[in-house]
Amino acid sequence: IGINNTIKTTTLRYKLVSGDVENHFKVIFNEVTSIATKINVEIKIPRLCGRQINRVNIQKSPEEYYRISICIPFLDSILQQIQTRFNQQLKEVIALEGLIPANFSAYDNDSIISAASLYENALINLKAELTMWRNQWKSSTAEIPESVIEALHYCSNVLPNVKLLLQFFATLPVTSATPERTFSTLKLLKNYLRSTMKQ
């Protein structure tokens, strides 16, 4: 499955679940309730104060409390993380996936060259190398690689631009380290400001 399709499918799935969160959460909550009953644990709402000012006070039932205070924010967070991790710049270079022999039919040379234009200073004669790379796999009897890492093993130094693009594509950032560092710094700053504020 291509990365682009996986991103779209995952995002769509979470949006569908978010749109019908009551029914989806009811199934989950019923399962949790049956497990809790088996081990003699009562599901209850955490202690709430009489006057809540910083968040919503949900007092109807444990199911509604956990749906509103945990499930909905969690789904929103997942959708936001997907959109942050797979931003527009990553979507622009996703056509580099066409360098993987198993994905040759999904992308043509022009879309790969367009995606590679971000790295144009490092690439020379890419069009000729792409043709050679595709021809190599048309006549090859080896098993067709289905991932970037597998394709890198087969890419020789004769095709330096294709190899360089495969290396770029293999190392695209899909981690949340940068946002986590930012949030951690903001948390420290907020704690400092709270502790030094005078009323």
Distances (CA, A) of 197 to 35, 52, 54, 174, 194: 46, 22, 18, 38, 5
Q: What is the CA radius of gyration of the chain?
A: 25
What's residue 139's pLDDT? Answer: 81
- CB of 17 closer than 8 Å to CB of 63: no
What's residue 183's pLDDT? Answer: 59
Calpha distance 165→122 (Å, rounded): 10
Query: Can you give the pTM of this predicted structure?
Result: 0.50
Tell the residue number behind the tokens 């644990």, with chain if given. Answer: 41
| Burial class of residue 144 (count of CB atoms within 10 Å of its CB; 0-12, 13-18, 19+) | middle
- CB of 90 closer than 8 Å to CB of 169: no
Calpha distance 90→86 (Å, rounded): 6
Calpha distance 2→5 (Å, rounded): 5
What's residue 1's pLDDT? Answer: 45
What's residue 31's pLDDT? Answer: 93
Query: What ranges do the domains of the chain cover?
Result: 3-86, 89-170
Neighbouring residues of 28: CB distance < 8 A, sequence distance ≥ 6: 71
What's residue 193's pLDDT? Answer: 64
What's residue 180's pLDDT? Answer: 55
Over its length of 199 residues, how does the chain's per-residue pLDDT go in tens digits? 466 677 788 888 888 888 888 998 899 999 999 999 999 988 887 766 666 666 665 667 888 888 888 888 888 888 888 877 777 767 777 777 788 787 778 788 888 788 777 766 656 677 788 888 888 888 888 888 888 888 888 887 778 888 888 887 887 755 544 455 555 666 666 666 666 665 5
- CB of 144 closer than 8 Å to CB of 186: no
**DSSP type of residue 121:** G
Distances (CA, A) of 82 to 21, 78, 105, 115: 18, 6, 26, 21
3-state DSSP call for residue 38?
helix
What's residue 100's pLDDT? Answer: 79
